Amino acid sequence: MYTETVMDHFRNPRNVGSIENADGVGQVGNPKCGDIMKIYLKINDDEIIEDVKFETFGCGSAIASSSMATELIKGKSIQDAVELTNKAVIEALGGLPPVKVHCSVLAEQAVKSALYDYSQKTHKAIKGLENYKPEEDEIHCH
């Protein structure tokens, strides 16, 4: 059902954990739908993502998507990170079953949410996040 890469990232997830005094923290999803992703960013003065950690409650593909998303943005500029799409996550994972595509969407959203938190804290506008809205209260499971 899952590709080798998905299983590898599920079995040995990269960047698990949290960052104390993170420069940006984003959490998306909710327990009702069965998946939550939380991403912590450490961003340096050159606006490079020096470190990234994640915590995820969810199925195998949710954990693998979080792991892959953190790998894809680690060491990148915040501008590169904001351009991360769920498609890129899926491609890097070698594909996801159609019913699990929402896991990659959640990963993209979690990264954006953490970057949004950073821009709020630092009052720095990030190009591409102008229209970003943090999750609304209403729940829609995907």
Partner 1 sequence: MSKKLYLDNAATTRVKKEVLDEMLKYFDELYGNPSSQLYELGRRSKEAIEKSRKTVADFLNAEEKEIYFTAGGTESDNWALKGVAFANFNKGKNHIITTKIEHHAIIHTCEYLAKFGIETTYLDVDRYGLIDLEQLKESIRPETMLISVMFANNEIGTIQPIEEIGKIAKEHGILFHVDAVQALGSVKIDVQKQHIDLLSMSAHKIGGPKGIGGIYIRKGTRIDNFIHGGGQERGRRAGTEGVQNIVGFGKAVEIAKRDFDHHIERLTVLRNRLIEGIKNNIPDVVLNGHPYTRLPNNVNFSYKFVEGESILLLLDMEGISASSGSACTSGSLDPSHVLLATGLDHGTAHGSIRFTISEEITEEDIDFTVETMKKIIAKLRAMSPIKNDEDLKKN
Contacts of 107 (CB under 8 A, 6+ apart): 37, 65, 66, 68, 69, 86, 89
Closer by beta carbon to partner 1, 30 or else 77? 30
Nearer Cβ to partner 1, position 14 or 42?
14
Q: Does 57 bind partner 1 (CB under 8 A)?
A: yes
Catalytic option among 103, 110, 115, 126 = 103
Determine which one of 7, 19, 33, 129 is catalytic.
33
> Least Å distance between CB 54 and partner 1?
8
Least separation in angstroms between CB 60 and partner 1: 5
Query: Is 59 in the active site?
Result: no
Cβ-proximal residues to 56 (8 Å cutoff; 6+ apart), any chain: 35, 36, 37, 38, 62, 63, 66
